[in-house]
């Protein structure tokens, strides 16, 4: 007996209805990207592991899907490592030269360095492609998922951050999703690390405190102890992570706390400029300051952005920030960039949970012609050709079947109109158009049919 087919955990099939909904998301985001002057690129699904490794921190490296070398992949492996069942990175590098991309930002940095002589800086690019992470699948977290990225590289101006916040707001306004946009600055986090006497533990601190919403402050403190932070340093961190008040009040509090830290003061200054510029332009979304926000990625150096849906319990649905020297690891130092990434799959789950899709989001055909025989089908196909030329989507039921079966097909696919060409219509060179919602019917000429459906 043949084994029942399945797909890997953390991946999904999408039906035509689901794809229509996903395309609604992609099309909305793509339209806004174009509106803000971003230009599209694509990069390969797989990259050299040398491109990917070391860019996402130790935890990120563990989540990279690695691809075994083609052919006899054991041929170049050290027998001693194999015999010892060695699982270190040294053996991995001998067995795997390539990996599936973890995100779109690092491949973008590689692209910029590789094509630097072809680009005009600042370069504004967008990219809508899948990424892969060897994560534990759970609600809202998948091993294969799409990201929709927009980045501006080659400019230090904080106008770029303000523009990206406006872009985020525009996308979620169009999708009708209520969101909170959370902001922080990596320099503020560096200032905090200085303040508590642990500047060398910045990465450990940011990775841990970024999990506060998921695991709670007590577990964060336990993780910090595991990474070697003293109780004194951990105690000094607590009031910083629990500041309250309005955004302006929290900024003022943090400014006072970080008065002795030059890098911390710089972070507050940048936050003031970004928040002030954004508030002057106005947002539909709520703007919030979250000093625990770190996003756990080592390449952020300035502004950090995260977006949460207000009406659905799910992880972040958009994130990003500034990275001052990501291209430096590829031999092009000193190029600053800032970018955001929309999590299309989580946005999809939010729209499903709230049933926010517009009625016309389903890309069904507009009219289906019935089929009552060879002569009727031939006349119908002539009309269909004229309709398609006029931009009206149309199809014909391919079989000469009973009317009930043909109508059931149209109903199942939510086709709004059925065009009937029978003996009477054929004799008059007309068509009966049935509205599948109201049940109304009208006898029309081809010209009238086109005008009726093209509106």
Q: What is the pLDDT of residues 213-272, one digit of tens each?
A: 778 888 888 888 888 888 888 888 888 888 889 999 999 999 998 999 999 999 999 999
Rounded CA-CA distance 312/384 in Å is 44
Q: Is 300 annotated as a binding residue?
A: yes
Flag whether 356 is marked binding: no
| Fold (CATH) for 364-454 | Rossmann fold (3.40.50)
Q: Is 204 known as a binding-site position?
A: no
Using an 8 Å Cβ cutoff, are 264 and 195 in contact?
yes
How many other C-beta atoms can be found within 10 angstroms of the C-beta atom of residue 421? 26
Tell me what pLDDT residue 142 has. Answer: 87
The reported pLDDT for the residue numbered 184 is 94
> Does residue 323 have a known ligand-binding role?
no
Domain ranges of the chain: 14-171, 364-454
DSSP, collapsed to helix, strand or coil, labels residue 127 as strand
For residue 396, the cross-strand partners are: 369
| pLDDT number for residue 361 | 79
295 is in an annotated binding site: yes
What are the DSSP calls for 392-417, one per residue?
A: --EEE-SS---HHHHHHHHHHTT-SE
Dist CA 135 CA 133 (whole Å) = 5
Pairing of strands 367-369, 46-48: unpaired
What is the model's pLDDT at position 432? 97
Residues 352, 358, 363, 369: is their CA dihedral positive or negative? positive
**98 neighbors 46 (Cβ within 8 angstroms):** yes
DSSP string, 330-380: GT-TT--EEEEEEEHHHHHHHHHHHT---GGGS---SEEE---SHHHHHHH
**102 among the known binding-site residues?**
no
| CATH assignment of 14-171, among 3.30.930.10, 3.30.360.10, 3.30.70.420, 3.40.50.300 | 3.30.930.10
Per-residue model confidence (pLDDT) at position 24: 95
Q: Is 105 labelled as part of a ligand binding site?
A: yes
Q: Go through 341-363 and write b for each residue having 16 or more CB atoms within 10 A of its CB, e for each that does not.
A: bbbbbbbbbbbeeeeebeeebbe
User: What Cα–Cα distance (Å) separates residue 410 from each residue in 322, 365, 401, 407?
Assistant: 50, 9, 13, 5
Q: Was 382 annotated as part of a binding site?
A: no
Residues of the chain with pLDDT below 70 are 1, 70-94, 140, 296-299, 363
Question: Residue 147 annotated as binding?
Answer: yes
In 3D space, the residue among 28, 32, 356, 346 whose CA is nearest the CA of residue 176 turns out to be 356
């Amino acid at each position: 007996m043949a084994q029942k087919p399945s797909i890997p955990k953390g991946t999904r099939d999408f039906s035509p209805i689901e794809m229509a909904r996903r395309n609604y998301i992609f099309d909305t985001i793509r339209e806004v990207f174009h509106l803000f002057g971003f230009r599209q690129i694509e990069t390969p699904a797989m990259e050299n592991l040398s491109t990917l490794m070391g860019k996402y921190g130790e935890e990120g490296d563990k989540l990279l899907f690695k691809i075994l070398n083609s052919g006899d992949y054991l041929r170049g492996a050290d027998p001693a490592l194999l015999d010892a069942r060695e699982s270190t990175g040294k053996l991995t590098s001998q067995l795997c030269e390539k990996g599936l991309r973890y995100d779109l930002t690092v491949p973008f940095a590689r692209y910029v360095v590789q094509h630097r002589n072809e680009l005009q800086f600042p370069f504004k690019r967008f990219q809508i492609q899948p990424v892969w992470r060897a994560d534990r699948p759970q609600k809202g977290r998948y091993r294969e998922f799409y990201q929709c990225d927009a980045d501006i590289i080659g400019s230090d101006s904080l106008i770029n951050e303000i523009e990206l916040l406006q872009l985020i707001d525009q996308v979620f306004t169009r999708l009708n999703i209520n969101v909170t946009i959370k902001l922080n600055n990596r320099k503020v986090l560096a200032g905090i690390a200085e303040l508590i006497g642990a500047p060398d533990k910045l990465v450990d601190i940011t990775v841990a405190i970024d999990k506060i919403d998921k695991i709670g402050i007590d577990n964060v403190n336990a993780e910090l102890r595991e990474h070697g932070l003293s109780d004194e340093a951990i105690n000094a961190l607590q009031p910083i992570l629990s500041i309250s008040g309005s955004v302006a009040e929290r900024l003022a509090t943090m400014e006072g706390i970080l008065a002795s830290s030059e890098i911390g003061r710089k972070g507050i200054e940048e936050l003031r400029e970004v928040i002030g510029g954004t508030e002057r332009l106005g947002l539909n979304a709520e703007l919030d300051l979250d000093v625990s926000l770190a996003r756990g990625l080592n390449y952020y150096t300035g502004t950090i952005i995260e977006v949460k849906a207000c009406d659905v319990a799910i992880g972040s649905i958009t994130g990003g920030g500034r990275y001052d020297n990501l291209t430096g690891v590829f031999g092009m130092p000193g190029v600053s960039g800032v970018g955001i990434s929309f999590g299309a799959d989580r946005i999809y789950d939010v729209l499903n949970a709230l049933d926010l899709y517009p009625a016309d989001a389903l890309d069904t055909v507009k009219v289906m012609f019935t089929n009552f025989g060879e002569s009727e089908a031939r006349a119908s196909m002539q009309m269909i050709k004229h309709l398609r030329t006029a931009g009206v989507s149309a199809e014909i039921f391919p079989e000469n079947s009973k009317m009930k079966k043909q109508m059931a097909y149209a109903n199942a696919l939510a086709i709004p109109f059925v065009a009937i060409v029978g003996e009477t219509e054929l004799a008059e060179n007309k068509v009966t158009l049935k509205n599948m919602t109201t049940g109304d019917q009208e006898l029309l000429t081809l010209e009238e049919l086109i005008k009726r459906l093209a509106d």
